[in-house]
């Protein structure tokens, strides 16, 4: 309980952009063969600091095989919601789920990020018992608690009942139970986000655990059995109000990125692969006349490649699919960053007109066939994957691992963890920073990044930027 709102809570996206820049980046490390415990790395990102671009602290977990993926804060700018009327909690704890173990770690980042430590561990049984869900994934700090999306239902392989969202208390971390009252036709889950004042949530679909835990199942993909729908929900009524099918060939609709400014009722979602032509696509969804709509607004073509440059999985296709596995929207809703994990490219689209994205910048790094090195000469395995943007929109950070078993299928030569950063020009354009290159301890891969004080995929706002 504090006397003032946390200084990192901002009423509007614009105020968040004007706040001081981040000094630390938190990055999740996973042991792909489960031989070592997963970890949280704290990286110094303060320019001019003697330890710039180095790991300054590591929190190593006491268990193995958790498989860290995404994570989030116990509280963010959504605490300034005028409806909550109570902004006196701290952005202090990182909530880190293990998507393989269903265990959740609560990490205390106070008094200093370099002294971060485990605060509490929520064992999988508690989550199974209280929610009937498994494989917790995306974390968002909401007005009435921490929302956690899951990828699995009950049972050993997570197929006993559909996956969904559950809520945790943001101070005691007690698992409170399922969020949905009426899930409608939703049976798969991946990402979710919302517009708080407009009172809706959007969720996306990846797959059920047997379709991803032991690697991508090519037969399932080619028969369009991965997720391809968006679900729109009444947030307070916890009811599915509309489902939009993007078309069965648009396999794996993953990250949902609504405009940060709550007055804008649109957002984006990335589709990993179109099974008819290996294309990746960006879709814009919006609300108009009380209904939600979605259309494909950008496509990224596959790149032909000789068989010897391809992993066995792709040799029959003679091409590299772009594999858009993550997207992220800048705080001013102007630039959408698109990770092409297959072709090894980070794209920057100007989405000022949200239904007409314009390619504004691009850097190549890694890639299945291209294997572009970093400008500093070092090699970059795999491709750009989890991407995070600084609040001011000037720096874009990313890592290279997608998911342990999938990494091995697409990049059988190995995916040593790397984190890089690109600087963004005033009017767009993207250039890799030669001095920012974080390599991680041997045997670790790197996944999602969270920036100190919030970033472009953590905070949600209740007031528009005017």
Partner 1 sequence: MFDGLLLLPVGLDWGHASPALGWLWLALVASGLYHGVNPGMGWPLAVSAGLMDKSPSALFRALWALSAGHLLATFLVLLPFAFLLVLVEWQRSIQIGASLLVIGFGVYRLIARRHPRGLARIPPTQLALWSFAVAIAHGAALMLVPIYLGLCQAFEFDAGHEAAGALMKTSLFKTSLGMAVLVSLVHVAAMVGAGGCLAWLVYRHLGLKFVSRSWFNLDAVWATSLVLVGAVALALNLASWR
Query: Rounded to whole angstroms, how far apart are CA atoms 121 and 297?
Result: 42
Question: Contacting partner 1 (CB under 8 A), which of 32, 113, 136, 143?
Answer: 143
- Among 196-204, 240-248, 278-286, 371-379, the segment contacting partner 1 (CB under 8 A): 196-204
Distance linking the first and last C-alpha atoms of the chain: 30
Q: Which two tokens stand for residue 317?
A: 């296709």
What does the per-residue mask of binding to partner 1 show for 57-96, with x meaning CB under 8 A?
Answer: -----------------------xxxxxxxxx--------
Q: Least CB distance from residue 178 to partner 1, whole Å? A: 14
Contact 9, 76 (CB under 8 A): yes
If one counts every other C-beta atom within 10 angstroms of the C-beta of residue 241, the result is 17
- 163 - beta bridge partners? none
245-264 positions binding partner 1, by CB under 8 A: 262-263
Indicate whether 4 belongs to the interface with partner 1 (CB under 8 A).
yes
Q: Tell me phi and psi for residue 50, to 5 degrees.
A: -60, -25
C-beta of 184 vs 197, nearer to partner 1: 197
Indicate whether 156 belongs to the interface with partner 1 (CB under 8 A).
no
C-beta of 193 vs 411, nearer to partner 1: 193
C-beta of 126 vs 171, nearer to partner 1: 171
Indicate whether 137 belongs to the interface with partner 1 (CB under 8 A).
no
- Among 190-198, 271-279, 294-302, 334-342, the segment contacting partner 1 (CB under 8 A): 190-198
Q: Least CB distance from residue 2 to partner 1, whole Å? A: 6
What does the per-residue mask of binding to partner 1 show for 210-249, with x meaning CB under 8 A?
Answer: --------------------------xx------------
- Among 130-138, 271-279, 353-361, 458-466, the segment contacting partner 1 (CB under 8 A): 458-466
Nearest to 298 by CA among 328, 331, 271, 278: 271
Q: What number of CA atoms fall less than 13 Å from residue 202's CA on the CB side?
A: 27
Nearest to 138 by CA among 205, 190, 186, 173: 190
Query: From residue 306, how far is each of 311, 316, 369 by CA, in Å?
Result: 11, 10, 8
Q: Least CB distance from residue 199 to partner 1, whole Å? A: 6
Q: Least CB distance from residue 328 to partner 1, whole Å? A: 24
Q: Which two tokens stand for residue 354?
A: 């949200």
Q: Which residues bind partner 1 (CB under 8 A)?
A: 1-5, 7, 9-12, 14-15, 80-88, 143-145, 171, 196-199, 236-237, 262-263, 462-464, 466
């Amino acid at each position: 309980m504090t006397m003032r709102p946390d200084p990192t809570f901002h009423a509007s996206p614009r105020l968040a952009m004007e706040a001081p820049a981040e000094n630390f980046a938190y990055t999740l490390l996973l042991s792909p063969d489960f031989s070592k415990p997963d970890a949280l790395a704290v990286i110094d990102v303060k320019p001019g600091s003697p330890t710039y671009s180095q790991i300054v602290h590591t929190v190593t977990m006491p268990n193995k095989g958790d498989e860290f993926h995404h994570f989030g804060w116990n509280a963010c700018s959504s605490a300034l919601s005028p409806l909550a009327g109570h902004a006196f909690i701290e952005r202090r704890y990182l909530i880190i789920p293990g998507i393989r173990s269903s265990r959740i770690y609560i990490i205390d980042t106070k008094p200093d990020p370099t002294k971060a430590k485990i605060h509490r561990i929520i064992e999988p049984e508690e989550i199974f018992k209280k929610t009937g869900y498994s494989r917790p994934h995306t974390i968002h700090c909401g007005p009435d608690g921490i929302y956690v999306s899951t990828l699995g239902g009950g049972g050993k392989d997570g197929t006993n009942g559909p996956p969904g969202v559950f809520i945790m208390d943001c101070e005691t971390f007690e698992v409170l139970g399922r969020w949905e009252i009426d899930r409608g036709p939703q049976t798969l889950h991946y990402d979710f986000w919302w517009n708080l004042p407009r009172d809706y949530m959007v969720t996306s679909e990846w797959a059920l655990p047997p379709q991803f835990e032991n690697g991508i199942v090519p037969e399932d993909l080619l028969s369009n059995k991965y997720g391809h729908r968006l679900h729109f929900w009444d947030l307070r009524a916890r009811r599915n109000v509309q489902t939009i099918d993007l078309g069965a060939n648009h396999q794996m609709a993953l990250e949902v990125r609504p405009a940060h400014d709550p007055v804008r009722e649109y957002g984006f979602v990335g589709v990993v692969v179109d099974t008819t032509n290996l294309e990746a696509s960006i879709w814009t969804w919006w609300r108009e006349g009380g209904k939600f709509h979605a259309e494909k607004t950008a496509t990224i073509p596959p790149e032909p490649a000789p068989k010897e440059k391809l992993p066995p999985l792709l040799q029959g296709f003679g091409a590299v699919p772009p594999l858009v596995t993550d997207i992220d929207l800048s705080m001013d809703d102007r630039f959408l960053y698109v990770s092409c994990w297959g072709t090894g490219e980070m794209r920057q689209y100007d989405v000022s007109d949200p239904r007409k994205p314009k390619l504004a910048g691009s850097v190549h790094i890694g890639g299945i066939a291209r294997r572009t090195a970093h400008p500093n000469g070092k090699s970059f395995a795999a491709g750009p994957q989890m991407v995070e943007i600084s609040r001011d929109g000037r720096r874009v950070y990313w890592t290279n691992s997608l998911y342990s078993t999938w990494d091995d299928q697409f990049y059988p030569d190995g995916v040593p963890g790397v984190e890089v950063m690109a600087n963004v020009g005033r009017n767009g354009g993207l250039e890799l920073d030669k001095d920012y290159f974080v390599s991680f301890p041997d045997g670790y891969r790197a996944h999602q990044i969270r920036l100190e004080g919030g970033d472009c995929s953590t905070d949600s706002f209740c007031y528009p930027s005017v």
